[in-house]
Structures are given as structure tokens and as C-alpha cells.
Structure 1
């Protein structure tokens, strides 16, 4: 069988976007689970400057019931996606009344929203929300402390502006974002790395503080991008190296708010709209689900009718694989905030034989310079991907990226809109 005749779920880094359009337009039992930043809008250093194409938003409505987002960002707040959508239409009432909001899970899986902007936080306590509300204050104090004790010859007013832009006061995922400071210290690599370590220590201190307040098992730290997890299950920070900013986002998140578990939350609701029953119960919370891949697959097998299982298309842009030399023995740190949910979708497809498709968006052309671009080559007039986003020596990476969009989010949303148009017809 030639490569061109292979079904997409058996391909690797295919550029056959028409074949993907055909699946999205014609598969009746379809579930799209899609990341946001870098996928349907460009990666930017300041989240307040993000914009989203109105035509793309319109297209998502044509997939009503078959399209959900899954993001570590949030729907609400001044840095939430909802404000971006409201700005696109310049009329909040129209957005709300006609259902232009993007349905799905945010904050990794603990913030649910429907098309009309109704938001809930399943499984989250008032005590946890109270602690999260104080985290931005602790982040600011930590930044202040760093610059008081480290003379970087920066103007005090400039420092204050940088700090303000680096604190993302999200409701359930407050974040320290170092993109601005990586630019400031672009020629002072050691200074930026010291700031990275300082914020990492702050996050660990916050976990201890939460434990002292009786919230020991409530939170975890998400590093974006990261190098996967260590033996204790904790994510590994990616150190900056040269122009590669490494980990820029230090997110203080609720345990259970990891994307792979969010897949189950979306699948549970998808089954309800098709069958009238929630396989995991109406009150299912991602916070009560297992974390282990095998346990997650077992939970799906035990509760979801295989006859109703959809073809799932997972779309993301953050997948990493970096070599670590241990005395001449190469091991690979496999991470990225989208890896977990994409890999689970892939495993579900194999288990249920549903031909699930993993779509990768190359977001390296954005303002945030911590993404490895796809390496392309042309042979006999045919373009193909020579090298993916991971380390080329990592031959045993369990995640296969079936379809690639080297042209980034603009190329993807053009394809998405064409599929929506054909699906409507």
C-alpha cells in the first residue's frame, strides 16, 4: 500500500490536508478535541494581545456537538479566551445570545463552559478557590524580592511594568509567565536562568503553604513547556538555553487538571448528548479520575459503549522530546502540555479501532521562541516533513503525529473552515 493510500491514523506527519478535511466533513460520529494557543491563534508573549479570526469562530459553530476545546488557559478573566471572542464581534450580548463561545474544558480540565458562556468548576472547593485567589499576590511579592536582591541595571518603572505583564491572575490557574523577561535578559542567559529557578522555588513554597492550610493534595505545578515527568510524577522544568527560553509558564493548578483526564470529561458529555446517559455519571469530575494511562483506558473500556465510540481528532502544538546524555547513554525527556491528551486519544483509537487522528500545528513562527520548527524537504515537486518537533534520535517515541501543519495556525484554521463549510452542505 502506498503512503498516499494509507488512512490518516496510520500516517506520520502527513501533509495531506484534503484527506483530513474529508474526515472532518463527512464522519457522522466525530469528536474534535482541540488546544487553543498556537493552534487557532498565534503564540504571543502578552496574552492580552491575542486575537482570533471571526471566520474560524463561526466555523466552530458548524461543528456544534462535535467540537470541544481542551486548554491549560482559561475561559474567563481578563486574560481568558472569552474576551478575545467578544472583541472579535465587538458585542458581548451577541456572542452570548447566539452561542459564539468555545465549549469545552479549560485550566487543564477543571473549568467547564458551554457555547453560551455558562461556566462551572466541577469538584473544586471554596477553600481551594480562596487559596488560588491569593497566588497572584505571592507571585508579585516573589518578583519584587528577586529584583530587590539582584541588580540588573533596570529602571524601577520598567521592572514594575514587566512584572505586571508577567502575572496571569487566572481564577483557577494563576501563572507566572516569563516571556517578557526572556526578552529583557536575551543577552544575559544566566540572569534569566536565575529567575527561572527563583519562580520554581516560589511554586514549591506555595505547595508547602497550601499543605499547611490543609490543602496538601489540592494543587500541582505545570511547567510549559516541560521535559515530561520524573519518577515521582512531577513535571520537569526545561532550563533555558541560548535563545530557547525553556519553561516560560509556571502554572499553579488544581490536581486533576491535566489534559489527558480532561479527555474523559469531554467524552462523558459527548456520550450524553448522543445517548441521554453519562457513562461516568452526571457529576463526574476530572479530579476524581486516575492519572495512569492504563487506568484511564480501563475506565473507558469499563464504562463507554464501544458501538457509540466516536472517531476522535486531537489537535495540539506543544510536544517535546529532548535528549539527555547520562554517561554516554541517551535517554529522552518527552513532554509538552499537549502530549498527554494526544497520546491518550491515540491509545483510545487503537483500543476501540476508531481511527483516531492526531494533528500537530507548528507554532514555532509565533512570538514565543521555544518551539522547534518542522524540517521540510521537497522531492520531485512533493513537499514532506523530514523531521518533526522532537529529537530525531528519539526513535521510540510512543506518540505518532499523523497530520502536520507547517504553516501554523493560519493554515490549520483555513483547513478547518473548509471542512465546516463542506459539513454544513
Structure 2
């Protein structure tokens, strides 16, 4: 489809046209996830690797590039630590600017971090969560003394308790790897950790923090009628939900899109369309309301072409009580859909870019299906024919393929700027 604009294509493999768009579009805003996008998916977050060449390439998009992740910048398992290791020969690494912890942990390129809109009482409650997760894991496996030897159990717990400052998480990837022959135990573990999360939410309520937190399941099966995310229990298709993230209410990626867009317009015009103090927690949770906020407050003439990049989008078509039900989920789905909708509203040619991370260590992604150099089946259920999200670009060979094209575009953009 050479004459069809990229934003009207579906799962295009025209990477050179994509690279040219990144290199030559002056009013450009890239909003990019991290795990599975510029780093391989791994069971233990401490083993993640990012290349210094990729990080340096982001400099070519200074003030046009931001990250948006449910992980964090800081801490032992934060991305900053990974970046610092990549720059071991340099005392001053380049940090990745943008929002972490779902949209409430801001970082600039120099590594200065803040938590806009988060109270000290909320941070104090979050600080106690990692120890609770560790105790829960120890207690659970006392019921199964023969399933894991003590050394492996301790290693799995150490890898599974993510002591993030603003999004403490139970990551069950390593447990899943060791429980392949006992799937019923792994599902019981998923249910046990869910019970802990529910108990933590109840305790927050008792401390007058009932509106402060929610749980993000990654990957998930969308939301129920009350807007709560649906856990995905393991089955023949894979591990299902592996990350149980205890998050600050309002820390959702689609709200982060507005916070980043607000900063981007300020950098270009000197004016914040949503106000200088706007943060993700002030944004509505409904995607239509978010789009209305953009329509009401942003000047169409100033709107950039937004490129949203992610790797976690899924759907399942199932039968429940004799009815066909479609469950659409994935932690990148909503922010990509909002970027798509903004592009449709303002006619800015926004793109949604999908990175196939199924080849990583974490086996809960459906691989793209190719035939004759064309993607013939995406990451979602082929029976889901009415998915509102259209993924424009695809990188079937994963993060290395994407990083190569990104670095190519960065070099061309830098050359154009210096010319």
C-alpha cells in the first residue's frame, strides 16, 4: 500500500517510511513504553539490558521523546540503574525523560525525579508493600514444601518482589518458569497474590486512603463493568497475569499521555494548555473524557504528530453463560487507543506502533503471524473483528529491530538538524 499513509495502514512493515517520518517531522511527539520495546522481556527485571547506542539516539529527539511505563525510573530495579550500567565507561549517562509508575513519577533527562500529586501518606503506605508481598510468598509455599527447594524459592522471591517506590509489584515470571509441571500451583499462587492485593486495598480504606490506590494486572483481560482490571489466570496459552502492581489511583498510562502532551506544548509555546501544575492524577479515567479534555484545551494548530509505541495488547473471544464475550486488554492498549483517537480528532497522522516481544523470556505474548512478508494476524484474537484499536506499524522481530530503525531515524534527524 505505497500510497496509503502509515496512519491508515494496519501492522505495516514499511520501516523505512516510518524512519523517514521520525527523521523529518518537526512537530513530533514520541511516547514510548520500555520493557519489550527497547529492552527484551526477561523473567528477572535485574537482568534487563539496554544499549548505550539506543539511549544516545534519544538525544536526537530531545523534547520530542518521552517514556511512559508502569515500571520506575529509580531504585534497584529501576531503568536508571540499567542505563547507568550501559554507560559504565561514562560518569554522566543520559537518562530517559518521561513518566513512570503508570504516569506519576516524572523524570527529566538529567535524572531529577518527582512524584506530582502523590502525598507523603500514600508513599509511606506503598513503602510497606514489598515486605508484605515477600511474607505472602513465603507463607504460600509453606503449603507446598516439596514443590521448590529452599534455595530456588529464595531466589524466586528475591526476583519477584519489586520494591518500587511508587508501584511495588509482585512479578511471578520466575515462579512460572519453575512451576511448568505444576500449573495448578501457579494458578493458586496467582489467586493468593490477588487476595493479598485485595487485602491491601481494604487496609488502605481503613487508613482513609480508600481513594489512593488500585491494582494493575499485566497482562490483563480488560476491565469489568466497574472499571476494575480483570486478572488473566494461566492456561494453555501461557502464564497469563504475571505482574501484580500496586499503583497510585490515577496512575494510568492514558492520563500520562495528557501530562506529556501538556509539557510538550509548553516547551514549544511557553504555555501549558492544562495548567502548569497539571498531573496524571488530575485527569479523568474515562478515555472519552480524556479526549474531550484535549479537544477543549488544545489548539489544533499546535498539535503534534504523536507516535505511541508499545508491546502489550491482547484480546480474547470466549463463551460465558452461552454468550460470546470479547475481553480486550494489555497495559499499552488504552494509551495507544487514546493517541489514535487524538490523531483522528485533530487529523495529525498519529501512529500506533506495536513491538512483538513474544520471543523474550516471558511467554505471555502472542507472536505476530507473517506470510509472504505481510502480517496476516496481529496480537489479538482473530475472532475479535471489531477492535477499535488499529495498530499501524509492526516490528515482528522485536525490540532489536525497533531500536535499529529508531537509531537510524535519530542519525538522520541529527544530520538534518545540523545541516
User: Aligned with 1:149: secondary structure?
Assistant: coil
Question: Does 1:17 find its partner at 2:15?
Answer: yes
1:217 matched residue in structure 2: 211
Report if the CA contact (8 A) 1:25-1:423 is conserved: yes
Q: What are the Cα deviations for residues 366-392 of structure 1, in whole angstroms up to 9, with x where unaligned?
A: 0000000000001xxxx0001000000
Report if the CA contact (8 A) 1:107-1:173 is conserved: yes
2:112 matched residue in structure 1: 118
1:281 is matched with which residue: 275, 282, 286?
275
Question: Does 1:226 find its partner at 2:190?
Answer: no
User: Aligned with 1:51: secondary structure?
Assistant: coil
Question: Does 1:265 find its partner at 2:259?
Answer: yes
1:4 matched residue in structure 2: 2
Q: What are the Cα deviations for residues 203-226 of structure 1, in whole angstroms up to 9, with x where unaligned?
A: 000000111111000000000000
Report if the CA contact (8 A) 1:311-1:355 is conserved: yes
**Distance between the aligned counterparts of 1:319 and 1:153, measured in 2?**
33
Summarize the alignment of residues 195-210 of structure 1 with structure 2, pairs less than 5 Å apart.
Answer: 195-210=189-204
Q: Alpha-carbon deviation of 1:154?
A: 2.3
Question: Does 1:421 find its partner at 2:411?
Answer: yes
Q: Alpha-carbon deviation of 1:148?
A: 1.7
Q: Alpha-carbon deviation of 1:160?
A: 1.9
**Distance between the aligned counterparts of 2:311 and 2:86, measured in 1?**
23
**TM-score w.r.t. length of structure 2:** 0.98
Summarize the alignment of residues 174-189 of structure 1 with structure 2, pairs less than 5 Å apart.
Answer: 174-189=168-183
2:366 is matched with which residue: 349, 369, 372?
372
1:391 is matched with which residue: 372, 381, 387?
381
1:85 matched residue in structure 2: 83
Question: Does 1:102 find its partner at 2:96?
Answer: yes
1:129 is matched with which residue: 123, 138, 142?
123
**Distance between the aligned counterparts of 2:170 and 2:151, measured in 1?**
19
User: Aligned with 2:261: secondary structure?
Assistant: helix
**TM-score w.r.t. length of structure 1:** 0.96
**Distance between the aligned counterparts of 2:177 and 2:281, measured in 1?**
36
Q: What are the Cα deviations for residues 25-71 of structure 1, in whole angstroms up to 9, with x where unaligned?
A: 11110000000000001000011011111111111001101000000
Q: Alpha-carbon deviation of 1:198?
A: 0.2
**Distance between the aligned counterparts of 2:134 and 2:150, measured in 1?**
14
Report if the CA contact (8 A) 1:82-1:101 is conserved: yes
2:45 matched residue in structure 1: 47
**Distance between the aligned counterparts of 1:171 and 1:368, measured in 2?**
24
**Distance between the aligned counterparts of 1:398 and 1:325, measured in 2?**
21
Q: Alpha-carbon deviation of 1:301?
A: 1.1
Q: What are the Cα deviations for residues 98-151 of structure 1, in whole angstroms up to 9, with x where unaligned?
A: xx1000000010000000001010000000000000000111111111112333
1:340 matched residue in structure 2: 334
Report if the CA contact (8 A) 1:375-1:385 is conserved: yes
Q: Alpha-carbon deviation of 1:157?
A: 2.9
User: Aligned with 2:251: secondary structure?
Assistant: coil
Q: Which runs of 5+ in 2 are unaligned?
A: none
Report if the CA contact (8 A) 1:186-1:243 is conserved: no
2:231 matched residue in structure 1: 237
Q: Alpha-carbon deviation of 1:262?
A: 0.3
Q: Alpha-carbon deviation of 1:4?
A: 2.0
Q: Which 10-residue stretch deviates more, 86-95 or 20-29?
A: 86-95
1:249 is matched with which residue: 243, 250, 256?
243
**Distance between the aligned counterparts of 2:90 and 2:128, measured in 1?**
29
Q: Alpha-carbon deviation of 1:161?
A: 2.0
**Distance between the aligned counterparts of 2:173 and 2:194, measured in 1?**
15
Q: Alpha-carbon deviation of 1:309?
A: 0.2
User: Aligned with 1:68: secondary structure?
Assistant: strand
Question: Does 1:307 find its partner at 2:306?
Answer: no
Q: What are the Cα deviations for residues 240-266 of structure 1, in whole angstroms up to 9, with x where unaligned?
A: 013600000000000110000000010
Q: Alpha-carbon deviation of 1:93?
A: 3.3
